[in-house]
Amino acid sequence: MVQKKLNQKILRKQKNLHLVQIFLYIHEIFFFIEVIEIFEKWLQALGKLEYVTGRDKPEVDCILCAIRDDDKRVKSLKVYQDTLNFVVLNLYPYNVGHMMVCTTRHVANYIDLTKEDLIHTSRTIQGLQLLLDDLYSPRGYNIGINQGNYAGASINHIHWHVVPRFPSELGYIDITAETRVVVEGLDSVKKKIEEKIDDFLNKEFFENF
């Protein structure tokens, strides 16, 4: 009789434990569904060269020249343009605020840039840094160019990358999935930059260089 009651008690505990395990399993499923929905909204794939080299390449001679000319065949994230430079948000940003400064005229080789090109571009990059400091307060920047396919250039039109850098930006997803969590959508970033860029890149700013 005692053994029977003991067995019943053990069975009840096992049943309760089983119910707890089912509850935790269901909770875990809903948790991962929520995480996946967040990732689908905010993950930005890195290295999307298909846009400029593969099957998704627009039917234009130069993507940057097409953006300069407001060609409707090319998705444009242009935020600024003058006679020597224009600025676009990177379509596949490494970080929020990742921009490219492009020569207005088509130049493929750095040595073909004029003194005026170099001076004006340098000042433009300084203005963008001031703008990004104001909007996002990054802790550092990567600024540079790639020239030629073997150097990693995917577009044969000279452009400078301006990439703001932030603390603790590399995580598990970046390493294992070759993706990056983007905390703000491109449309939102573009709107913020367009609203303030004329405060930083204006006639007075360039004349006081």
User: What is the structure's pLDDT at 151?
Assistant: 82
Asked if residues 115 and 189 have their Cβ atoms less than 8 Å apart, the reply is no
User: What is the structure's pLDDT at 14?
Assistant: 58
The set of residues, in sequence order, having a beta carbon less than 8 Å from that of 129 and lying 6+ positions away, is: 141, 162
User: What is the structure's pLDDT at 42?
Assistant: 46
The domain defined by 46-207 carries CATH number 3.30.428.10: yes
User: What distance in Å separates the CA atoms of residue 107 and residue 207, rounded to the nearest whole number?
Assistant: 24
Asked if residues 52 and 155 have their Cβ atoms less than 8 Å apart, the reply is yes
Pairing of strands 179-181, 85-89: unpaired
Q: Could you read off the pLDDT of 34-91 as tens digits, one per residue?
A: 544 544 444 454 545 455 555 667 788 899 999 999 999 888 899 999 999 999 999 8
Q: In the Cβ-directed half-sphere of 64, how many Cα atoms lie within 13 Å?
A: 25
The crossing angle, in degrees rounded to 10, of helices 115-136 and 186-200 is: 120
User: What distance in Å separates the CA atoms of residue 169 and residue 114, rounded to the nearest whole number?
Assistant: 37
User: What is the structure's pLDDT at 10?
Assistant: 55
User: What is the structure's pLDDT at 44?
Assistant: 52
User: What distance in Å separates the CA atoms of residue 26 and residue 20, rounded to the nearest whole number?
Assistant: 10
What parts of the chain have a pLDDT lower than 70?
1-56, 168, 170-183
| CA atoms 98, 151, 65, 59: torsion sign | negative
The pTM (predicted TM-score) of the whole model is 0.70
User: What is the structure's pLDDT at 43?
Assistant: 47
